[in-house]
């Protein structure tokens, strides 16, 4: 539930930034870092919750933890002024891509309560796959692309990953946190 709440707060700060209200750029950057950390904690907690086979869940959680750390680095890059928002966003998107890979693995290997909630599993897989598009950002990171206007057109695909991170991930988190009996079949 906490991961979903952090994601919604991060999105709200981004909306406020684009609406020209207050210093919400930095709030969004901090929110992204906290969202990355929260997703990393969630991935580890899921290993111990028994919702997926540990042989798959544990290595996938390790990938998510690396992704979470990468997201924090992306937030630090912009907050410290080391890079501009675009390169920092590519780093964060690459980190969330790893978190997305975990989400796909978790839901594909899900057992127990997720088995009775097939729509939740499908949402998790779709969400994770959309998030993994952020891996395209690695090419931009290697090229040190820090200007959205000058970036190659194919790098814009990284932006699609944020739909998974900002819209679908919180939805999945809220549904995952809800008791199974409240959702018939999904």
pLDDT digits (tens, 9 = 90+) for 88-126: 999 999 999 999 999 999 888 876 545 457 888 899 999
Of 7, 42, 49, 44, which is closest to residue 28 (Cα–Cα)? 7
180 against 86, higher pLDDT: 86
**Does 155 score more than 60 pLDDT?**
yes
% pLDDT > 70, the chain: 89
What's the pLDDT score for residue 27? 83
Q: pLDDT tens-digit profile of 131-149?
A: 999 999 999 999 999 999 9
Could you tell me the CA-to-CA distances from 72 to 28, 75, 92, 112, 118 in Å, in that order?
12, 5, 7, 32, 32
Contact 57, 46 (CB under 8 A): yes
Average model confidence (pLDDT) for the chain?
86
Instruction: State the Cα–Cα distance between residues 87 and 18, nearest whole angstrom.
Output: 19
**DSSP states along 120-138:** HHHHHHHHHHHHHGGGGHH
Instruction: State the Cα–Cα distance between residues 62 and 3, nearest whole angstrom.
Output: 18
* DSSP state for residue 178 in the 8-state scheme: S
Q: pLDDT tens-digit profile of 17-76?
A: 777 776 777 888 888 999 999 999 999 988 877 655 677 878 999 999 999 999 999 999
pTM across the whole model = 0.87
What's the pLDDT score for residue 116? 57
């Amino acid at each position: 539930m906490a991961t979903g709440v952090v994601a919604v707060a991060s999105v709200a700060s981004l909306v406020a930034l684009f609406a020209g209200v207050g210093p919400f750029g930095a709030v969004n950057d901090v929110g992204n870092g906290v969202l990355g950390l929260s997703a990393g904690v969630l991935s580890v907690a899921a290993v111990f919750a028994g919702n997926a086979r540990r042989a798959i869940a544990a290595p996938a959680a390790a990938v998510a933890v690396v992704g979470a750390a990468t997201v924090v680095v992306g937030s630090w890059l912009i907050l410290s002024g080391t890079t501009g928002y675009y390169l920092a966003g590519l780093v964060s998107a690459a980190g969330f891509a790893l978190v997305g890979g975990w989400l796909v693995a978790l839901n594909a290997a899900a057992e127990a309560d997720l088995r009775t909630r097939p729509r939740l599993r499908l949402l998790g897989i779709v969400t994770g796959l959309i998030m993994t598009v952020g891996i395209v950002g690695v090419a931009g990171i290697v090229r040190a692309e820090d200007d959205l206007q000058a970036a190659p057109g194919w790098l814009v695909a990284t932006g699609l990953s944020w739909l998974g991170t900002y819209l679908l991930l919180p939805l999945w988190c809220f549904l995952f946190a809800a008791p199974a009996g409240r959702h018939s079949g999904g």
